[in-house]
Amino acid sequence: MTAQILDVLTTAAMLFIVCLGLQIVYGVMRIINFAHAAFLTIGGYSALVAAQLGLNPWLALPFAGLVGLVLGALVERLIVRPLYARPLDAILATWGLGIVIGQLVTIGFGREVQFVPSPVQGTVEVAGATYSLYRLLLVLGAGLLGLAVAALLSGTRFGLVTRAVIMNESLAEGLGINSGLVRFACFSVGAGLASLAGAAITPLSSVDPNMGVPWLVGAFMLVMVSGASLRSLALATLLLGGAQVLISAYASPVLGGLTIVVLAAVILRLRPKGLALD
């Protein structure tokens, strides 16, 4: 029982970390970044490179975030910027970019599955259950990341300007806010967070050129359901991620794999606003 509760919590935490970057880009730019999967992959390989360089496994996380940030900035300038007015085309172009990145990674690192050392090993006893320490730390990490992003959005000038752009872009521009710069910053941060997320999940799985793809559709669905709100995203990952864990355990893993996408589709059909609270 305890193990199951912990499974729900840690799964939700992983999903939250993975979705965060996608949500920031969607929330501000109304653009669905299908290269998100590729940025997760980039994060995984950044962790691999960091390990090969002999960096401390903890340092792999900020390193991956930085790599994603820089690449994201480049991508925004070259590809995403011309597509602000064409959101459907932006989905396609970022998907194409994902293909390109996947092939480049394959050419550079090979197709084989590789492993990255975990920053912490072992298990701990929680209320009678033995549980992976790293997974528990992910819950803490998700909480901290969520708080950090919330603080960035509600406590800084950058956040104020960003929220102005989310609410009414043309008005914000009329007030002298450079919305292009806001978008640039948001896309870069979103890509950086995606890459960080990729590095954070690799110790639990492995690294391969398509490692991000299985996460993509689920993350997309969770973001569609939660709109631009961080609290809604936390709620959505807990509810839908929790349902996934329970259905996988008690019904069948196949149904579990479908839980998030099917539930999200049903929720969005019944309530186009999804779980958005505000």
Partner 1 sequence: MTEPLPAREAPADPALRRAALLFAATLAAVAAGPFVLDAYTVNILIRALLYAVVALTVDVLWGYTGILTFGQSAFFGIGAYAAGLAFTHLGFSPGVAVLALVGGIAAAGLVGALVGWLAFGYGVTPIYVSVITLVLPIVVTQLLFSGGTFTGSSSGLSGFDTLDISIEAWFWLAGGACATLTFLAWIALRSDAGRLLVAIRENEGRCQYLGIDTARLKIGLMALSAAVAAVAGYLYAGFTDVIAPELAGFVFGTQIVIWVALGGRGTLIGPVVGAVVIEVVSAYLSGELPYVWNLVIGAVFVLVIVAAPGGAAAMVRRLWIWTGRGRARAGPGPAIEVVPAAGGGPLPDEALALEDVSRRFGSLAVLQGVSFRVRPGELLSLVGPNGAGKTTLMRCIADGTERSGGGVRIGGHAVGRGPPAECVAYGLGRKFQTANVFDGLTVAESLRVARARRETPSLWRRSATLRLPAAAARVVAATGLDERLADEVVHLSHGLKQALELAMVLALEPRVVLLDEPTAGLTKPERTLIGTILTDLVASERLCVVLVEHDLDFVRQISSRIIVLHQGRVALDGSVAEVVGSELVRSIYAGEPQALAEA
The residue (of 218 and 242) whose beta carbon lies closer to partner 1 is 218
Report the distance separating Cα 229 and Cα 24, nearest Å: 9
The residue (of 104 and 151) whose beta carbon lies closer to partner 1 is 104
Query: Does residue 77 bind partner 1 (CB under 8 A)?
Result: no
Query: Does residue 140 bind partner 1 (CB under 8 A)?
Result: no
Cα 110 to chain centroid, rounded: 25
Subset of residues 197 to 216 that bind partner 1, contact rule: CB under 8 A: 213
Yes or no: say if 15 and 237 are a contact pair by the CB < 8 Å rule: yes
184 contact partners, CB below 8 Å, separation of at least 6? 73, 76, 77, 81
Find the distance separating the first CA and the last CA of the chain, reported in whole Å: 34
**Near partner 1 by CB under 8 A: residue from 220, 226, 236, 242:** 220
Q: How far is the CB of 131 from partner 1 (least distance, A)?
A: 28
Question: How many residues lie near partner 1 (CB under 8 A)?
Answer: 36
Query: Does residue 277 bind partner 1 (CB under 8 A)?
Result: no
Query: Does residue 257 bind partner 1 (CB under 8 A)?
Result: yes
Q: How far is the CB of 217 from partner 1 (least distance, A)?
A: 6
Query: Does residue 137 bind partner 1 (CB under 8 A)?
Result: no
Yes or no: say if 116 and 48 are a contact pair by the CB < 8 Å rule: yes
The residue (of 24 and 149) whose beta carbon lies closer to partner 1 is 24
Query: Does residue 229 bind partner 1 (CB under 8 A)?
Result: no
Q: How far is the CB of 1 from partner 1 (least distance, A)?
A: 27
Q: How far is the CB of 86 from partner 1 (least distance, A)?
A: 7
Identify residue 65 by its one-letter amino acid code.
Answer: G
71 contact partners, CB below 8 Å, separation of at least 6? 39, 42, 191, 195
Report the distance separating Cα 103 and Cα 227, nearest Å: 31
Which ranges in 30-86 belong to alpha helices (H)?
36-52, 60-75
Subset of residues 96 to 115 that bind partner 1, contact rule: CB under 8 A: 96-100, 102-104, 106-107
The HSE-up count of residue 95 (CA atoms within 13 Å, CB side) is 10
Yes or no: say if 145 and 20 are a contact pair by the CB < 8 Å rule: yes
What is the SS3 assignment for 119? Answer: coil
Q: Which residues bind partner 1 (CB under 8 A)?
A: 79, 82-83, 86, 88-89, 91-93, 95-100, 102-104, 106-107, 213, 217, 220-221, 224, 252, 254, 257-258, 261-262, 264-265, 268-269, 272
